[in-house]
Amino acid sequence: MILVTGGTGLVGSHLLYFLLKENQQVRVLHRANSDLQRVKKVLGYYTDDAQSYFNRIQWVRADITDLPALSEAFEGVTHVYHCAAFISFDPKDYNQLKKINVEGTAHIVNLCLHYKIEKLCYLSSIATLGSTADGSFITEDSPWNAESKNSVYALTKYSAEMEVWRGIQEGLNAVILQPSVILGEGFWASGAGVLLKIAEKQIPYYTTGEIGVVDVKDVVRAMILSMKSDLQNTHKILSAKNISYKDLMSDLAGHLDKKPPHRPIDSWKLY
């Protein structure tokens, strides 16, 4: 049995399709207010038989911050994909970010150890690698710079990774994947999906600089391959390429038959 946290999110919902396609038994955590129809919508991007795929999912109502309910969901599980996270860059949300991203991940790690889970795949973020002092490219070997201006999201995801590394020291078999900005179908009003909304509105401005992007399907394939492979006790960046904000927004505008942005603006002026 495979357990998936964050199964109603962008990566989780796409992951479910590929797991179900392999005829895996899948159990998915969801909160009381989760919109399960979004999962069915994503399944519909891949198959005309979305309902039958959806019906094969074993749904368990539990929150990763609720240890007793979470513990019950681990019964009979052999592998765990931990995708659940709270995303915010607002310092006012720090306590909630810490509770979900750090404490929630600590619960997952502890239960993986308790139930002797065969392998954990933790979906982290490239944000945990921070930035290099000299502006050079970030790699898996780039050290965390505590003195740089890291976002509250990056801080909590980094702390979550430390929980996974702590579990590894205690005997857990785990792999950490760090994707860049994930692009994919189904979540147009949140995450990177808002970029499409901006392109659709034909906003004439674009910010300077570049951004790393990766297709959600590539992220999911990497997750499944890493789970099946001998890869363990390590972390890997998932990114297809770096692209300028201008080129990215122009590409999106082109696909929507909208006018591309043509006026550069410094990012700090957006706040």
User: CA 44 to CA 35: how far, in whole Å?
Assistant: 15
CB atoms within 10 A of CB 233: 14
Structure tokens at 16: 């479910």
Tens of pLDDT along 148-188? Answer: 778 899 999 999 999 999 999 999 999 999 999 998 888 76
Task: Check: CB of residue 17 under 8 Å from CB of residue 39.
Answer: no
CB atoms within 10 A of CB 158: 20
Q: How many residues does the chain have?
A: 271
Tens of pLDDT along 66-106? Answer: 898 899 999 999 999 999 999 988 999 999 999 999 999 99
Beta pairing, strands 2-5 & 26-30: parallel
Domains and CATH numbers, the chain: 2-183+219-239 (3.40.50.720)
Q: At what angle do helices 216-228 and 10-21 cross, to 10 degrees?
A: 50
Tens of pLDDT along 192-201? Answer: 667 767 776 7
| Ramachandran angles phi, psi of 23, nearest 5° | 60, 35
Tens of pLDDT along 184-231? Answer: 888 766 666 677 677 767 777 778 888 889 999 999 999 999 999 999
| DSSP H helices in the chain | 10-21, 37-46, 50-55, 67-73, 94-97, 104-114, 152-169, 194-200, 216-228, 245-255
Structure tokens at 187: 């979540």
